[in-house]
Each structure stands twice: as structure tokens, then as C-alpha cells.
Amino acid sequence: MPYNIAMVSDFFFPQPGGIESHIYQLSTKLIDQGHKVIVITHAYEGRTGVRYLTNGLKVYHVPFLVMFRSATFPTVFSFFPIFRNIVLREAIEIVHGHGTMSSFTHEAILHARTMGLRAVFTDHSLFGFADAGSILTNKLLKFTLSDVDHVICVSHTCKENTVLRASLDPLMVSVIPNAVVAENFRPLSHPGYTADGTAQASGQHNPIPQQVLGPNDTITIVVISRLFYNKGTDLLIAAIPRIIALHPNVRFIIAGSGPKAIDLEQMLERNVLQDRVEMLGPVRHEEVRDVMVRGHIYLHPSLTEAFGTVIVEAASCGLYVVCTQVGGIPEVLPAHMTVFAKPEEDDLVAATGKAIAALRANKVRTEKFHDQVKMMYSWYDVAQRTERVYDGISGALSEADFYGFDAANASSWSASRGRAGVQSFALIDRLKRYYGCGIWAGKLFCLCVVIDYLLFILLEFVAPRENIDIARNWPKKMVNGEKNGEKNGRERSREMRRDTT
């Protein structure tokens, strides 16, 4: 059954990034599945108002004060009026927030639950527990996720982290990985595609001949990463001279910018490596593939990573991947595509040496990687799995099917703690969940929720639902007969909801 879904995040296009493209790809595929999806984000410079993207994806750019790294200023309630207006206008049923650092997400989930909507949260990043910033963020996350229907994490490590950070029931956290658009990350020459990059009509293509690498051919190692401390640039700086000294026919291509770029350049100058290390500076996401296909090995020295989409992209381009074994990275790619290293300089050098030796011995069939990655990760699959989550929380899938068999017959505990049940929109149940957040925090959170609820009632009084127009849907490409009936059904359910409130 189709749902009306609102994706909410501070991070969306035109800003480039992982969360941004995740939201876009997921929304597009969900629209293809027949759902209605809108995106709510804050206004970027030169990008305000309502926009339509490809496929009829409607984007609301809400004017809001941007505080730091395009995250909005965390006001608990000020987003509510316009959020309510958008949600009613679009007849939203499920609110899906993305990103821990986005205060829009947190506010939207809180307000959505106040308004009696289903809320889903997707976590894209890992957080520690030690420093003050993490403690604050974790408390905020705990507040928001105290009352959420389901949480999606991008890797199992991310799930463990989120479960610990927000004290969640592990069963209400799903692991749905990111994906890549395989067509955008195809190898340099691949028989599956024509010369201009479009996929050939016939799905099957001839087996690809193995590229044979001579013993003296130059091996190019590609690094594409923002040059930050947590991306392991220090490791890279330490390892590059040693790798180049050990292996004569090896070149580096480094793309990306950041505060560590200057250290990298200093290292190059000190060791006089300018002819063997090419620094490209920042590259756009569309150009990443063109850089990747110039190399044989992708080196990823990151220190923390929830999923690591870039290594999937590299493997899809037919690169052998050398990466540090941190965070969710070990789960992402099979062993024959990767060489893992500990986050240590010596081990990284050794692992790169191993990868070079394996390539020189022609033991790695990198030309097969693209098709294999294409089988592993696709946005279509992600959208289907996300759809199952929507089914589960909205009751289309029975609790037994969704949460496992014996979880279904325990109706007693779902009300006040753990996952949100069907009956749990009652304010007192929500307050019970928030109260458990901490001695002081619990009371504070309860206060916020009560105020939020009063605000909701006030808004119903000041700006009644009847006065808000319902937006017309974007005409779908495929016309099917049941669409009208479906819409009527939705109308009917809205009528009923109006009666109950």
C-alpha cells in the first residue's frame, strides 16, 4: 500500500554529501514503488521555497537559521507551525528523519509523534561516548528516539552504536545499507555498457577478458577523501613515502581537500615526490568515477566510518580496495575485493604491499568486481527494505512478522517502554517513555513534550485543519486504475482522523 512519506533532514542538495544523495536516491526509488515522497530541509543560499526534482520529488526549503556546517539552530518548537502546515498539506503519514547532527530531524520526529504520525529515523554516523560533544548529542538522540517507531542504521556496527546511544530495543533497529548507482561507477571499459555510458539493452554480456598486468607496469593507487584527521590523513602521510620507497612502479593520485592537505603537500615536498604523487584537489561527486578508473588500487585509511560508500564505489569501478578495519567497513565488501589493515602505519604499508603483489601476480579479477557489486548493492533493494519497515510500523505487516514471533503476544510492554505500539500515541504513554531518559533529563524532556502538545492544540485552534489546502500530487508516469480508489481511501481516512481529533 502506498504511503505519503516526508523525508526530513538538514542535509540535502544543493549541498553535496553522503546523507544528501542517500535521501535523494531512496526517495526516487520509493516514488518508483508508488509512494508519495516529499523532502523537507532548510533553505540554502539561492535555493528557497518549494522545488520539484526529477521524478516529481517535491522539496520544501524551509527558511531557518543555519548555525554550523549547515545544521540549523536547535530550537525545540519553532519548527512546529510550518512543519504541521506542510504535513497536513501533503497528507503525510510517515515522517522519516535522517542524520544525528541535524536538529531538523529531531524536531520533526518529536512533532510528528505529537501529531500522531509514524516516525522513522535513519542514522548515518558513528559517535563515541567519551567527549562532551558526544555526550550532549547522545542525550539529544535519546530524547528523540525515546518515542520513534523504527530506526534504520547503515551498518551493524552503526546499529550497535545507536542501540547503546539511545537505549533502544535492538528489534526496532533495522540495518539497511547504503547503495551505489552502479551505472555511475562503471569501470573504464566494460562490455555491459556502450561507449557513451548507457547500459546495453540485453542484461547479459560476454565474459570480460582479464586485464593482465605486467611486472613493470605502473600501478596507480587512488585516494579520494576529505583530508581530515578522522579520515586518516595522518596515516596516509606517513605511509606514502614508505610505499613509494618499497615499490618502484607505483604512483598515487590523491583527490580531496581539507585542513590536512597542507601536511600532505609538505610531506611531498620534503620527500620530493611530486612526480609520483598527483594531487587533484577537490573533485565533484560526478567526477569521482573518472578519477577512480585511472587507478588500480583504492586506498582508504579512514579512522572511523559507519558504512564507507566510497569503497563500494571504488570496487564498483573495478579497483582493488585497501582499507583500515574500523567501524562498519569490515561488513561492507567481501574478502576477495579488499585487503584490510589495522589503523597503523606499518600495517597499512604491509597491506598495500600485499595488494600490489596480488595485482602483479594477476590473482585478483578486478574486472568482475563491477557486476558483483551491482548484485550486492542497489537502491531498489534499499527502497524495498525500507518499504518493509514502513509496512511494519504502520501495521500492514503484523507485529509477529515484523518483530519476530513471540514479541507479538506481549502487548503489555509495548505501551510504556520499548517500541511504539499501535496504541501508543496517548500522551501519557509517550511521557512514560520520555521520563525514563534520566533523572533530570527525563523531567525536562517531559516538559518539552507537554509544551509541544499544548502548542499542537493551540495550532489546531489558531490554524484549523480545514483551512489548510491539500496539495495536488505530482502526476505519476504510470497510470493504473487503482490510483483513484486509493486516493479516495486516503481521503476517507483523513476524514475519520478529523472526526476523532
Partner 1 sequence: MVPIKAPQPTASTHAHPFGTLKRSSTLPVPQRPDVPHRHLLAPEDAIYQESPPRKQSAAVTRLQKDLRMTTETSTAPDSKAARNRGRSRPKSQNRSTSRRSRATWKKLLWVKQSYPDNYTDQDTFLEHLQRNPRLQPYDFWPLVADSTVIVQHVCSVIIFVVCFVGIFQERVEPVAVVSWGSIATVAGWVVWDRWVGQETATPSRIPIPPKLTSENSKDKLDASAASSMSNLTAVLKENGNMGNTLAVTSGRQSHSASVTSIQSTTSQVNTGTNSPISQPLFKADPHALSPRSALRLSTAKSALLIYFTLLGLSPILKSLTRSTSSDSIWAMSFLLFTINIFFFDYGSLAPPTFSSSSATKNKNIPASLSTNAALMASTVLASRLPSTGQVFSLTLFSIEVFGLFPVFRRYAKQRSWRGHVLLTAILVIGAGGGVGLTLGEGMWPWKSGLLGVLIGALVSGLAMGGCSWWLIGLQKYKNEIHGPWDPARPIIRRQWDDY
Nearer to partner 1, 86 or 341 (CB): 341
CB of 36 to partner 1, least distance (A): 21
Query: In 192-337, where do the E strands start and end?
Result: 219-224, 250-255, 277-281, 297-300, 320-324
194 binds partner 1 (CB under 8 A): no
161 binds partner 1 (CB under 8 A): yes
What is the contact mask toward partner 1 in residues 404 to 443, using x (rule: CB under 8 A)? xxxxxxxxxx---xx--------------x--xxx-----
User: What is the CA 236 to chain-centroid distance, rounded?
Assistant: 26
User: What is the CA 164 to chain-centroid distance, rounded?
Assistant: 19
- Interface with partner 1 (CB under 8 A), residue from 64, 121, 127, 456: 127
Residues 86-105 that bind partner 1 (CB under 8 A): none
Nearer to partner 1, 128 or 197 (CB): 128
Of the ranges 63-71, 91-99, 123-131, 218-226, which one interacts with partner 1 (CB under 8 A)? 123-131
Residues 459-498 that bind partner 1 (CB under 8 A): none
Of the ranges 16-24, 88-96, 300-308, 477-485, which one interacts with partner 1 (CB under 8 A)? 300-308
Transcribe 15-50 into DSSP letters: S-SHHHHHHHHHHHHHHHTT-EEEEEEEPBTTB-EE
Transcribe 386-436 into DSSP letters: HHHHHHHHHTSS-HHHHH-TTTTT--TTTTTSSS--TTTTSHHHHHHHHHT
What is the contact mask toward partner 1 in residues 390 to 409, using x (rule: CB under 8 A)? -----xxxxxxxxxxxxxxx
C-alpha cell at 38: 516529499
What is the contact mask toward partner 1 in residues 240 to 269, using x (rule: CB under 8 A)? ---------------------------x--
Nearer to partner 1, 13 or 340 (CB): 340
170 binds partner 1 (CB under 8 A): yes
Of the ranges 208-216, 219-227, 319-327, 359-367, which one interacts with partner 1 (CB under 8 A)? 319-327
- Give me the residue label for grid cell 483551512: 467
Q: Which residues, 6 or more positions from 285, have their beta carbon under 8 angstroms from its beta carbon?
A: 16, 21
Alpha-carbon Rg for the chain, nearest whole angstrom, is: 25
CB of 66 to partner 1, least distance (A): 26
> How far is it, in rounded angstroms, from Cα 480 to Cα 491?
18
Nearer to partner 1, 32 or 381 (CB): 381
What is the contact mask toward partner 1 in residues 353 to 392, using x (rule: CB under 8 A)? -----------------------xx-------x--xx---
How many chain residues interact with partner 1 (CB under 8 A)?
Answer: 85
Nearer to partner 1, 127 or 252 (CB): 127
CA angle at 341 for the pair 99 and 211, rounded to the nearest 5°? 100
Transcribe 209-233 into DSSP letters: PPPP--TTSPEEEEEE----GGGTH
Of the ranges 51-59, 149-157, 192-200, 456-464, which one interacts with partner 1 (CB under 8 A)? 149-157
CA 272 vs CA 71, 278, 352: distances in Å: 41, 12, 21
CA 160 vs CA 60, 130, 163, 236, 476: distances in Å: 33, 16, 5, 28, 39
133 binds partner 1 (CB under 8 A): no
- Interface with partner 1 (CB under 8 A), residue from 180, 254, 311, 333: 333
Amino acid 373 reads V
- Interface with partner 1 (CB under 8 A), residue from 4, 27, 114, 157: 157
CB 94 within 8 A of CB 71: no
CB of 89 to partner 1, least distance (A): 31
238 binds partner 1 (CB under 8 A): yes
Residues 23-42 that bind partner 1 (CB under 8 A): none
130 binds partner 1 (CB under 8 A): yes
> How far is it, in rounded angstroms, from Cα 256 to Cα 280?
7
Other beta carbons within 10 angstroms of residue 203's beta carbon come to: 7
Nearer to partner 1, 183 or 344 (CB): 344
Of the ranges 40-48, 51-59, 87-95, 326-334, which one interacts with partner 1 (CB under 8 A)? 326-334
